Amino acid sequence: MTDLIFENGGTLDKYLGDGIMALFGAPIARPDDALRSVKTAMEMQRAMARLNEDWQARGQPAMQAGIGVNTGPVTAGNIGSTRRMDYTVIGDAVNLAARLCAKAAGGQILVSDSTFRLLAGEVPAQKLEPILVKGKAAPIGIYEVVWGEAFAEPADSAAVV
């Protein structure tokens, strides 16, 4: 999963227990950060499906991951104290991404309305019922990204994903 983040121009922020926090747009912003982040999430889910096929063929249990993606302003930089400092991002946009991740079922990619608008129809997604999340007074609009192999780009495609 880490390799997929790097291959798509993302920044690995940190490992969080059984999770990964990745950034697109920090430290360097690009106009297609939202699209690259969602395509990376799709590649991650496909990679997980392939790993599960291999593991199940060996009699091992399958694993699933839920992914949440949000786009918005953040504070990025070396954050901490003189005793410990890390490059990371903080802010409401980060919190909402974490809430979406927590709401995502195994195998699901949830994106916020702000991310969906930036995708400009380039990724198949279906609108879900708005959800309430901690820290928000009103329900937020969310979409589920359709990531199955049927929606994979052809191997000979020149598109950068």
| Tens-level pLDDT at each residue, the chain (161 residues) | 999 999 999 999 999 988 999 999 999 999 999 999 999 999 999 999 999 999 999 999 999 999 999 999 999 999 999 999 999 999 999 999 999 999 999 999 999 999 999 999 999 999 999 999 999 999 999 999 999 865 555 443 333 22
Stretch (H or E) spanning 140: strand 140-145
Question: Which candidate, 41, 30, 87, 29, places its Cα nearest to that of 68?
Answer: 41
pLDDT given for residue 149 in this prediction: 60
pTM above 0.75, yes or no: yes
pLDDT for the residue numbered 138: 95
Q: How many other C-beta atoms can be found within 10 angstroms of the C-beta atom of residue 76? A: 19
What is the rounded CA–CA span in Å between residue 45 and residue 50?
9
Distance, in Å, from the CA atom of 35 to the CA atom of 118, rounded to the nearest integer, reads: 7
How far lies 107's CA from each of 17, 62, 65, 104, 147, in Å? 18, 11, 5, 8, 9
Query: Which residues share a beta bridge with 127?
Result: 143
- CATH class entry, domain 2-151: alpha beta
Q: Which of 98, 45, 92, 93 is nearest to 68 (CA)?
A: 98
